[in-house]
Structure 1
Amino acid sequence: MGKKNAERNARLDQLRREQKRKERRRALAIYGTAGGVVLVLLVGIIIYAISDNNAKSRTHQVGYVASASSAATAAGCTGTVNDASQGSTHVATTVDYKSSPPSSGSHNPDPLPDGISFYNPKSNIRIERAVHNLEHGFIVGWYDPSLPTAQVDKLRSLAADAGPRFIGVPWTRGTFPQGKHFVLTAWDRTQRCTTVSADVIKDFVAKHANPDPAGATWDSPTAPESGAQGGTLDVSADGPLAAAQSGSSTATPAPGAGTMSVSPSSPTPAP
């Protein structure tokens, strides 16, 4: 009887050992599979991070061209080009810019004021002042003499609602190349268009203007004076307000953010 009990206990011990081995193998298989999944996910995350960083680095390289949106294509626009920096020296003289129009370069020490969103074709505003605004994170919508009057009027209307960091400025040094008569510039970025488009302006401003005076959200680290404000609003006879009004146009306060648009039929504000 004792021998039988011993044999039975031995078989039970063997069964228990085999059961434990099976459980260990099952656990190893489960943990191994989970570990493999985690490893694959970790590798995927690392690859994505590297790829994302490379993509961001590529989009900031000089010469990179961001594809034109459908609205931009409809307006005859190119993609947005990352331009090489042309410097940022303050000068009081006229600058012979390499690009027509410039997206950076030497400029007048006094930028255009925040209070005017559009300048008339005959305002004779100094281009060098507008370039200084680019350095502060403004968007300049340049229009050349060949842009049709209806398009100029459209730009005047859109400028009033484009936000406090947008300025419409006439280009007085000839026409733009390749039949593009309206050009959007941010600091070191350019998009050339045939016609004026509200959607294109809105998209360009959203991507490249600096909405934060502290400069924290602005995607243009090459600008030395990022986040600075515009110049002061001079209402004297030869100041920027008078320049904006020239050509039989007067100025009215535009809605939002202290901007001022210029329209041909509105009353002049009191100084």
Structure 2
Amino acid sequence: MANKSLSKDRKAVINDIRKKQGRAERVRGAAIVGVCVVIALVIVGAAAWGPITGFFKDREYNEVALQDIGKSPKAAGCQKVTEMAADGNQNHIATGTQQTYTTAPPAFGPHWNEANVAPADMSRKFYTAADRPELEALVHNLEHGYTIVWYDETVSKDEQDLLRAIGKKFSGTSNFRYKFIAAPWTAADAKETAVAGDKKTEFPSGTHIALTHWTADPANPTEASTQKGVFQYCAGVSGEAIKDFMKKYPYTASPEAQAM
């Protein structure tokens, strides 16, 4: 009898141990699942945070006039507009061929001309360094009357948000007055420009924003002798400066104003 009683006690102890082990394993499993869920939520939340904050930042400027976004031209350190003789009208080079430009950034010159590559589509108003078209494609946009606002690698995220908000003021593809693009100017771009006399290969000291336009006589737009590259450099973002620049140099004053 004593042996049977001892056997029962052993079984009870073993069963109790197994139950406790089972509960512990379930608790550990639940904890692991919980941690995984938290990590997944953090990942999803992080991925969604950018678009969400971007949405609210965009809305912040919905009712703000273009000229009121950013600083005044004076406060933004905007320099006087300069012009220089342009070249490269309808000078199409093979897509993929790199062109050495003599200004930083370019406002004219030889460029690519291939469907779905150049010029960049009018529907896109703001680019980052990760997705910007090549210089040779964007120069074709300049030939078509676009104003391109370039920003260098020192420009803050907040200032990029300002440029993105300004771009939204030119949304759409039907109104050619909205030929506007904001795009980054990178260190790699600077290395690809050429030193030629007093030609600029970097933004002037203290400036980080550059407005460019390829202008021509509206009465005779293909006459090369009338064409000029137009530049304005600023230290910061100024919606007012951009508005004034685009009013003075509209899309109609360009070599190919009626082209998309």
Q: Which bracket does the TM-score occupy, shorter chain normalised?
A: 0.5 to 0.7
Corresponding position of 1:19: none
Equivalent residue number for residue 177 of structure 1? 204
**1:198 aligned partner:** 239
TM-score w.r.t. the length of structure 1 is 0.52
Counterpart position of 1:263: none
Counterparts of 1:73-222 in structure 2, within 5 Å, are 73-88=74-89, 89-91=91-93, 92=95, 93-109=97-113, 110-162=118-170, 164-172=178-186, 173-174=189-190, 176-187=203-214, 188-210=229-251, 218-220=252-254
1:71 partner amino acid: S
Q: CA deviation at 1:209?
A: 2.4
- Give the counterpart letter for 2:82 in structure 1: V
Q: 1:162 to 1:83 in 2, by over 3 A?
A: farther
Per the alignment, do residues 206 and 162 of structure 1 end up closer, same or farther by CA in structure 2, a change over 3 Å counting? farther
Moved over 3 A (4+): none
Aligned-residue offset at 1:207: 1.9
Q: Which one-letter code corresponds to 1:131 in the other structure?
A: V
SS of alignment partner, residue 99 of structure 1: coil
Letter in 2 for 1:98: T
d(CA) in 2 for partners of 1:82 and 1:209?
15
Report how far residue 144 of structure 1 moved: 1.1
Q: Take 1:122 and 1:101, find their aligned partners in 2: how far apart are those partners? A: 18
Q: Report the CA distance between 1:71 and its aligned residue.
A: 3.3
CA shift, 1:129, in A, is 1.0
CA distance in 1, matches of 2:132, 2:166: 21
Judge conservation of contact 2:204–2:233 (CA < 8 Å) in 1: no
Deviation at 1:121, TM superposition (A): 2.7
Does the CA-based 8 Å contact 1:162-1:201 persist in structure 2?
A: no
Describe the shift of the 1:160–1:120 C-alpha distance in structure 2 as closer, same or farther (beyond 3 A): same
Contact 2:145/2:253 (8 A) holds in 1: no
Question: CA shift at 1:202, angstroms?
Answer: 1.3
Displacement of 1:82: 1.4
**Structure having the higher Rg:** 1
Once the two structures are superposed, residues 176-198 of structure 1 have per-residue CA deviations (whole angstroms, 9 ceiling, x without a partner) of 33221110111011111110111
Q: TM-score, normalised by structure 2?
A: 0.54
Aligned-partner SS, 1:178: coil
Mapped to 2, the partners of 1:177 and 1:131 lie a distance apart of 21
**3-state SS of 1:204 partner:** helix
How many Å apart are 1:148 and its aligned residue? 1.7
- Quick one: distance in 2 between partners of 1:227 and 1:134? 12
Tell me the C-alpha RMSD between the 2 structures. 1.8
Residue 192 of structure 1 aligns to a residue whose secondary structure is strand
Contact 1:162–1:202 (CA under 8 A) maintained in structure 2: no
Rounded Cα–Cα distance in structure 2 between residues aligned with 1:204 and 1:228? 21
From 205, 215, 226, the equivalent of 2:257 is: 226
For 1:85 and 1:107, the matched residues in 2 are separated by: 13
Structure scoring higher RCO (CA < 8 A, sep ≥ 6) equals 2
Measured against aligned partners, the alpha-carbon deviations of 1:226-255 in whole angstroms (never above 9, x if no partner) come to 3211xxxxxxxxxxxxxxxxxxxxxxxxxx
Equivalent position SS for 1:74: coil
